[in-house]
Amino acid sequence: FWGDAGLVDSTARREFFAQCKKAGVVGLKLDFFTGETQDITQWQEAALKDAAKLQLMLDFHGTYKPAGQEYTWPNEMTREGIRGLEYGTDNTVWSTHNTIVPFTRFLAGHADYTPFSLRSDVAKGTTLAHQVASVALFTSPLMVLGAFPDSLLKSPVKDIIKVIPTIWDETIVLPPSEIGEIAVYARRSGKVWVVSVLNSATAKNVTVNLSFLGAGSWHASEMKESGVTNIVTVSKANYTSGSQVNLTLPAGGGYLARFDQ
């Protein structure tokens, strides 16, 4: 709580950052900014500058969407400014919401959405495959997950999540993406491609064209729907740029595949 911690004052903020650095802290999550006033935007920029001098990373939660700050201050790892899973128990239709924000809010930049929940009252209307795929499709260099650490470590999908990159060199929006209906992304990190699919509240049969892959054969690890909401199937296959993946997606379903050579 940046205000409650007495960090409004610049001297107090610098002293606090210095104490964190001395204690071995590498980053801070600052929360509960109450608006987008000039005072708050100036405070955040000053905080990024002070933190950068100490090589501290910052995550601004409970604040407005990004406006390019990370290009001047790359120690800004992410910021909220999005309706994310902390509102999971309200009446939001999350399957539809999650097929809208990739084409709206995420155009502004990274977002601390806190994706992935194993709680049925939070992830309602979506499958486990949808929740996992959202980790790859939503952009946040610091990916803060919405699951309890103990629950995540016991989850059968933990090894899938562990190898999802958080920094991307290239993103391609693939057919049959449609705002509010389905989001299909191919994202490259180094030499690895990841395809993630999020479906809305209507079941669909879709075909994903893999023409973005380079030459040769690609080894894929795929996570698909099992027919049971909280269970996924994991399999391996080989594909080329001439291949297609045919998917049967339930309402709120998802798909994830990692391709490498």
Q: Are 257 and 225 in contact (CB under 8 A)?
A: no
Which residue do the tokens 């380079």 mark? 214
**Total residue length of the chain:** 261
pLDDT of residue 3: 61
Residue range 120-136: average pLDDT? 97
Query: pLDDT for 38-62, tens place per residue?
Result: 999 999 999 999 999 999 999 999 9
Contacts with 107 (C-beta within 8 Å, 6 or more apart), sequence order: none
**Band (65; pLDDT cuts 50, 70, 90):** very high
Pick the catalytic residue from 9, 31, 36, 170. 31
pLDDT for the residue 2:
64
Q: Is the pLDDT of residue 5 over 70?
A: no
**How far is Cα 65 from Cα 161, in angstroms, rounded to an integer?**
25
**How confident is the model over 155-199, as pLDDT tens digits?**
999 999 999 999 999 999 999 999 999 999 999 999 999 999 999
Whether 112 is a known active-site residue: answer no
pTM: 0.96
Q: Name the nearest CA neighbour of 93 among 177, 180, 179, 197.
A: 180
Going from N- to C-terminal start, the domains of the chain cover: 1-81, 89-260
Are 242 and 119 in contact, with CB atoms under 8 Å apart? Answer: no
Residue 45 main-chain phi, psi, to 5 deg: -65, -40
Q: Exactly one of 45, 50, 70, 86 is catalytic; name it.
A: 86
Residue 15 — pLDDT band, cuts 50, 70, 90?
Answer: very high
Mean pLDDT along residues 227-244: 98
pLDDT band at 251 (very low <50, low <70, confident <90, very high): very high
Instruction: Tell me what pLDDT residue 4 has.
Output: 64
Per-residue pLDDT band for 1 (boundaries 50, 70, 90) equals low
The more confidently predicted of residues 88 and 5 is 88
List pLDDT tens digits, range 106-126.
Answer: 999 999 999 999 999 999 999
What was the pLDDT predicted at 34?
81
pLDDT confidence of residue 6: 76
Q: Report the alpha-carbon distance of residue 66 to residue 108 in Å, rounded.
A: 6
**Mean pLDDT over all residues of the chain?**
96
Rounded CA separation 90/2 (Å): 26
- Residue 147 C-alpha from the chain's centroid: 13
Higher pLDDT, 1 or 205: 205
Q: Which of 2-16, 104-118, 178-192, 219-233 is predicted with the least confidence, judged by mean pLDDT?
A: 2-16
**DSSP-assigned states of every residue in the chain:** -TTTTTTTSHHHHHHHHHHHHHTT--EEEE-------HHHHHHHHHHHHHHHHTT-EEEE-SSPPPSSHHHH-TTEEEE--S--GGGTTSS--HHHHTTTGGGTGGGG-----------TTTSTTS-HHHHHHHHHHS--SS---SS-HHHHHHSTTHHHHHT--S--SEEEEPTT-BTTTEEEEEEEETTEEEEEEEE-SS-EEEEEE-TTS-SS-EEEEEEEE-SSTT-EEEEEEEE-TT-EEEEEE-TT-EEEEEEE-
86 assigned to active site: yes
What CATH number matches the domain at 89-260, 3.40.50.11540, 3.90.1150.10, 3.40.50.620, 3.20.20.70? Answer: 3.20.20.70
Is residue 98 over pLDDT 80?
yes
Closest CA to 253 of 236, 234, 230, 237: 230
